[in-house]
Amino acid sequence: MMDYYPLLRPLLFLLPEETAHHLVLFAARRGMLPPQPAQDIPALKQSIWGLDFPNPLGLAGGFDKHAEAADALLRQGFGFVETGTVTPLPQPGNPKPRLFRLPEDRAIINRFGFNSVGMERFRASLMRQKRRGIVGVNIGKNKESADATQDYLTLLRVFYPLAGYITINISSPNTPGLRELQKHGMLEELLSNLRDTARALAQETGKKTPVLLKIAPDITPEDKEHIARAALEYSVDGLIISNTTLARDGLKNTTRAQEQGGLSGTPLFAPSTRLLGEMYALTGGKVPLVGAGGIFSGVEAYAKIREGASLLQLYTALIYQGFSAVSRINRELSTLLERDGFTHISQAIGADAGKTHVGA
C-alpha cells in the first residue's frame, strides 16, 4: 500500500501543531484515513491480563484525548489503542499554543494540561464506537480538585465496565502537583483505594479490567524503588514507562527547548528505556511493563522489549512518519527477533535488563 504521508507532512507542518492534530483526528473519524490492517505475525501475538494482543505496538494516551476515533485508529494496525486523558469534570487545559514541534530533534513538547470534555461526554463517545480491539482509557484528576484520590476512584467506577484496561496517569508534568502522587505515602493511599475498588468492581461486573500506572522518567533512585515496591504490594497490573520528560539535554532546537511542558520523541528514548530496564529488575519481572518514549523503528522497539517491555506505545513517531510506521515497526521487530533466534516475542522480554546503559 502506498504511503501518502511524505506528501502530506509538509502541508500539515505548515499548520499550527494543534490544528494539524485536530485535522488528522477529523480525517480518522470520517473514515478518510486509508486502513493499515494489523499484520498476522504469530511471533508478535501475546495474551496479557487475559487480553489477546495481535501485536505489541499500541497508541499512547494523549493522541485521542476525547475517545473520538478509537475504532478508526485501531484500523491503523495497532495492537491496542489508549484514549484520554479524561478527567471527571470538563476542563479547558492550558492556554494555546501548547503543542510544539522540534523537527531537528524528532521531538515534540506539549503542555496541554489535561484538556478534557469530562467523563460523561467521553463515556458517551466511547460507547458509540464498536471497539473491535483493545481500547484503554487513561484517567487523570481535575486541576482544581481538592481530592485527587476521589477523582481517580470516580473515573475507575465509570470506565471499569467499558475499558479494555485503565491507565492511572499521575505523571504528566502539566498539572500542578500531579507528580507528587508518585511520592511515598500519597502513592500507597491512592493504590490501596484503587486496588480495593477494582476488586469490588470485578465482583459486581464479573469482568477483570487491568489497572496500569503511568510513571514519569524524571524520578530519583529512591522513587524508583518505592514505586516498584508499591506496584507489587498493591497488585498493580502493569506499569507504563514512561510519560514525557522535563529534561532538555542536548536539544538542537534551542528556541523551542525553552517552551514549558513535557518533551517526547527521540530525546526521551534513552532515559525511558534505561528506566524500563531498572523497573523490570526492581519488580523482578513480575509486573508487565509497557515501554513508551522515542520509538521510531523496529530497532528501538526491540531495545525496549529486551529491557523488559511486554508491550509498547508510540505517539511522536506518528507526527513525523505517519501511521505506516506501525506496520513497518512490527515487521522490523519480527525480523530482529528471528535474527536473534527467538521464535516468540516473550522469549526476548528482559533479555538485556540491567546489563547495559542504553545510548541515544
For the annotated catalytic residues, the residue numbers are: 172
Q: Is 219 exposed, middle or buried (0-12, 13-18, 19+ CB in 10 A)?
A: buried
Q: SS3 sequence, 12-78? A: HCCCCHHHHHHHHHHHHHCCCCCCCCCCCCHHHCEEECCEEECCCEEEEEEEECCCCCHHHHHCCCC
With beta carbons less than 8 A apart as the criterion, state whether 138 and 315 touch: no
Distance of CA 328 to the CA centre of its chain: 19
Strand, helix or coil at 179?
helix
With beta carbons less than 8 A apart as the criterion, state whether 309 and 285 touch: no
CA distance 267 to 269: 6
Other beta carbons within 10 angstroms of residue 284's beta carbon come to 10
CA distance 297 to 293: 12
Reading the block at residue 128, the C-alpha cell is: 458509540
Q: SS3 sequence, 220-265? A: CHHHHHHHHHHHHHCCCCEEEECCCECCCCCCCCCCHHHCCCEEEE
SS3 content of the chain, % helix, strand, coil (to 5): 40, 20, 40
Dihedrals phi, psi of 355, to nearest 5 degrees: -90, -35
With beta carbons less than 8 A apart as the criterion, state whether 333 and 309 touch: no
